[in-house]
Amino acid sequence: MNTTYIVKRKNIIRIGVLVACMLFTIVYGILIFNACKQREQAWSRQAKAVFLEAVGNELKKLDKMEIHGFHTITSLFQQKTLETDIPDSVVFALQDGTHVYHLPLHRRNNAYFKDGDKNIYLSLILEKYPFPFDSLHYAWDKQLALSDIKGKTGVCSRITDLSRKVSTFASGALEEFAPSDSLVSTYLGYRLEMELSGYISYSWWSLLPGGMVITVVLLWCMYIFFWLFYGRLNQLVSKRTVVVEKIVEKALLPAKSRNKTRHIKARVYRLEHDVFFDAEQRLFCDGNGVIEKLSPAMSVLLEHFLKASDHTLTKYEIYQIMGKDLEEYSLDSFYKMIERFRKKLKQFSSVTLHSDGNGAYRLILPLDPTDMN
């Protein structure tokens, strides 16, 4: 088989597998990105609802303190038949005169209570009892953990007094949050003077869908395994089944000599009249005894040549017999091995190794006197 073709075929297979892995990873990467965005949106919706619920629970605590402390029957959470709208602005008569406070639309839209009367009562409560934003942060974090939402949170409270001075209080390291991490804001009081904001940020790792990531990792582990061991696996398979296609032009020897195997008995071959090769013992012998013991590799190669049709092997077959990989075993090393094999044959016999120039090698055995009869 043409060695260039084999190398190209192996490279095509490896490149094909690499391209398939890359395409699979790109498709899965898009799916993972979309899954992360969907999970982030779902978590944010749930975290917002939990934050507003936690604000309501803290307000209920303040409401109960007001009821029990002053024995009032008014409650922020009592059912009312009629609700008053939040006005565009409110007027306060202070010592230095009348002041008008305009209520921006975004504050009115995000007010916790959409009832003007409740907001008046809430302002009175907030003057007596500071809003416990630390407790709000703790309750929010606890509920997020129960909901299996993994994120870093912070709570910020901004209070605007009657002189329009803003005081800011924070629970959590707000400097670590970006403006885009602001999740929700709600407003309390008659002037909507208190702003409560919740911040949350998610690590990219917490948003990743574990199953999809494991699939991609396993895919690339399989590819690395394939890349490292493909040549060895291919070599092991080729040792079991070798398909050889060869087109060889060679000079014909006399008919009597051409297909003669010189097979004397089990794994013993006659190389010439008085020189024998014992493949089992890896020995060159003559009538006087042992001449030389061959190395295991040369012994295996010589026996394959003797058993082959016309004593001919292609370069690919020699690679397979020697257990070498076409890509890892250089041509220079191959030719050096062939030259050592030639010298060993020449040293103890008249057997020669002939190359036809097309990648095939033929073992030329000298004519035995018995072949000429």
3-state secondary structure the chain: CCHHHHHHHHHHHHHHHHHHHHHHHHHHHHHHHHHHHHHHHHHHHHHHHHHHHHHHHHHHHHHHHHHHHHCCCCCCCCCCCCCCCCCCEEEEEECCEEEEEECCHHHHHCECCCCHHHHHHHHHHHHHCCCCHHHHHHHHHHHHHHCCCCCEEEEEEEEECCCCCEEEEEECCHHHCCHHHEEEEEEECCCCCEEEEEEEECCHHHHCCHHHHHHHHHHHHHHHHHHHHHHHHHHHHHHHCCCCCCCCCCCCCCHHHHCCCCEEECCEEEEECCEEEECCCCEEEECCEEEEECCHHHHHHHHHHHHCHHHEEEHHHHHHHHCCCCCCCCHHHHHHHHHHHHHHHHHHCCCEEEECCCCEEEEECCCCHHHHC
Q: 181 and 54, same structural domain? A: yes
- pLDDT mean over 95-121: 89
**Do both 97 and 183 map to the same domain?**
yes
Tell me if 306 sits within 8 A of 269, measured CB to CB: yes
Whole-number average pLDDT of the chain: 78
What is the span of the domain harbouring residue 293? 255-372
pLDDT tens readout for residues 137-182: 999 999 999 998 988 999 999 999 888 899 999 887 888 888 888 9
Torsion angle defined by CA atoms of residues 210, 216, 217 and 220, in that order, rounded to the nearest 10 degrees: 180
CATH number at residue 357: 1.10.10.10
Q: Which of 173, 207, 241 is the last residue of a domain?
A: 207
* Whole-prediction pTM: 0.53
Tokens linked to 144: 């997020």
**Residue 217 within any structural domain of the chain:** no
My answer on whether 16 and 111 are in the same domain is yes
φ, ψ for residue 92 (rounded to 5)? -125, 135
Domain end position, chosen among 169, 192, 207: 207
My answer on whether 194 and 284 are in the same domain is no
**184 and 48 fall within a common domain:** yes
Taking alpha carbons only, the member of 191, 160, 363 closest to residue 277 is 363
| Same structural domain, 186 and 106 | yes
pLDDT at 356 over 60: yes
The domain boundary residue, chosen from 172, 189, 207? 207
Instruction: Classify residue 242: in a domain, yes or no.
Output: no
Residues 165 and 263 in one domain: no
pLDDT tens column, 38-74: 889 999 999 999 999 999 999 998 888 776 655 454 5
Does residue 244 fall inside a structural domain? no
Q: Are residues 203 and 259 in the same domain?
A: no
What's the pLDDT band for 106 if we cut at 50, 70, 90?
Answer: very high
Considering only residues 21 and 49, tell me which one the structure prediction assigns the higher pLDDT: 49
Residues 41 and 106 in one domain: yes
Q: 239 versus 26: which is more confidently predicted?
A: 26
Residue 56 lies in a domain: yes
User: Does residue 239 sit within a domain?
Assistant: no
Question: Is residue 252 scored above 70 in pLDDT?
Answer: no
Q: Are residues 199 and 264 in the same domain?
A: no
Domain count, the chain: 2
> Are 17 and 155 in a shared domain?
yes
- Domain assignment present for residue 302? The answer is yes
Residue 241 within a domain:
no
Asked if pLDDT for residue 135 goes beyond 60, the answer is yes
Three-state secondary structure string covering 124-148: HHHHHCCCCHHHHHHHHHHHHHHCC
pLDDT band of 241, cuts 50, 70, 90: very low
Residues 139 and 61 in one domain: yes
Of 191-205, 244-258, 330-344, the one with minimum mean pLDDT is: 244-258
Tell me, what's the pLDDT at 158?
93
349 inside domain? yes
pLDDT for 260 beyond 70: no
259 or 7, higher pLDDT: 7
